[in-house]
Amino acid sequence: MIFIVVKYQVKPSETENFLDATRAFTEATRAEPGNKWFEWSRSVEDPNEFVLVEAFADDAGEAHVNSEHFAKGLEAMRPLLAETPKIISRQIDGDDWDEMGELKIN
């Protein structure tokens, strides 16, 4: 599976608009064949930082970055960002989330 985490530093004046501006991109990506999840969160320490956690089947990454909605999504974000996003993108074993063994809840 392809596992990706991206941190977006949004301009303070745009934080309330950011999720609305990315909604079409988010919905189109979630509908892609091979998308496992595409989940936005907002930092509890920095209200201007949004974090995207996403995953794709091994063979779905290229189609994602070459899609029309990918290009449109990046262009929709660009004017709202304070800096270039930070990314971790890795091919990992597994097909879904695993349970955390150190914190089992019965």
List alpha helices for 36-84, DSSP H. 61-65, 68-77
Q: What confidence tens digit (pLDDT) does each residue in 20-40 have?
A: 999 999 999 999 999 999 999
pTM above 0.85, yes or no: yes
Tell me the domains of the chain and their CATH numbers: 1-41+56-84 (3.30.70.100)
pLDDT digits (tens, 9 = 90+) for 51-81: 999 999 988 877 787 888 889 999 999 999 9
Contact, 87 vs 48, CB < 8 A? Answer: no
- Which sign does the torsion angle of CA 87, 91, 94, 96 carry? positive
Q: CA 58 → CA 8, 53, 61, 81, distances in Å?
A: 24, 16, 7, 29
